[in-house]
Structure 1
Amino acid sequence: MNDKVNLAAKLAHVASYWSPHTVGQFNGCDLMVVKVKGEFVRHQHDETDDFFLVLSGELTLRLPEREIVLRPGELYVVPRGVEHQPFAAVETELLLIEPSGTPNTGDARTAAPRRLL
């Protein structure tokens, strides 16, 4: 990264939901912004944890035993191997951090393509 990144400005260019856009890298991880609304597929990541930081809106993470509701400024890390389903009743903006190449659905065949922004 050669310059600072304005997350709000980057998110202004994101038009579709559940499509992460990489805005930088850190120690082999992608720093991504994404807009979400509605229900995402229930999935798990066997090789890595899943980091969610809510920038705006509200995200519910449906886990096997409970639900976690995140509001702006709150984050949660889903441990590797734990099935989860993100859900947002309203448009929600997130910062995600994942090892580069991690499929967002847990399965490379169904994952959204990585986009640089």
Structure 2
Amino acid sequence: MSSQVRNIDDALATITEHWQPHRLASVNDYDVKVVKIQGEFVWHTHPDTDELFMVLSGELTIQLRDRDVTLGPDDVFVVPKGVQHCPKATAEVHALLFEPKGTVNTGDAGGEMTSQLHELA
């Protein structure tokens, strides 16, 4: 990806489906992804990496086996590697994700919600 200014709102405006992350930028071996979230995802883990969620708008609940974590705009939460989690949102949420390149959105769960990483135009 070339060095260029990227606008988060413009990037989000191009996303038409929920749970389909799009690469906004790359930093070393990490991808910065934008995503629209609504509904409930699948329970999954990322055995080899932490996952950072930053909510831009809306309210996101990250269900953990021992508690729920609720994030609002400008909140950040890191799900530690190997921790089973399930994001959900009653209304649409706009978020940034920070993950190592190649991280699959459904982690070890796979299934129909697994997305290929989309590139922004």
TM-score in same-fold range (> 0.5): yes
- SS state at 1:8 partner: helix
**RMSD after superposition:** 1.2
The answer for the alignment partner of 2:71 in structure 1 is 70
| SS class of match (1:87) | strand
Cα deviation 1:75-107 (Å, max 9, x = unaligned): 100000000000001000000010000111013
Partner of residue 112, structure 1: 115
Residue ranges of structure 1 left out of the alignment (5+ in a row): none
Secondary structure in 1 aligned to 2:11? helix
1:43 aligns with 2:54: no
User: What is the identity, as a one-letter code, of the residue corresponding to 2:42?
Assistant: V
Query: How far did residue 2 of structure 1 move?
Result: 1.7
Change (3 A) 1:109 1:66: closer
- Whole-Å separation in 1 of the counterparts to 2:20 and 2:64: 21
Aligned length: 117
Letter in 1 for 2:119: L
In 1, distance between residues paired with 2:80 and 2:64?
A: 11
Q: Can you list the C-alpha shifts for 1:34-89, whole angstroms capped at 9, x where unaligned?
A: 00100000100000001100000010000011000000000100000000000001
Q: Normalising to structure 1: TM-score of the pair?
A: 0.96
Matches within 5 A, 1:1-117: 1-107=2-108, 109-110=110-111, 111-117=114-120
Instruction: Confirm or deny: 8 A CA contact 2:51 2:80 kept in the other structure.
Output: yes
Unaligned 5+ segments in structure 2 are none
**Aligned-pair CA distance for 1:5:** 1.3
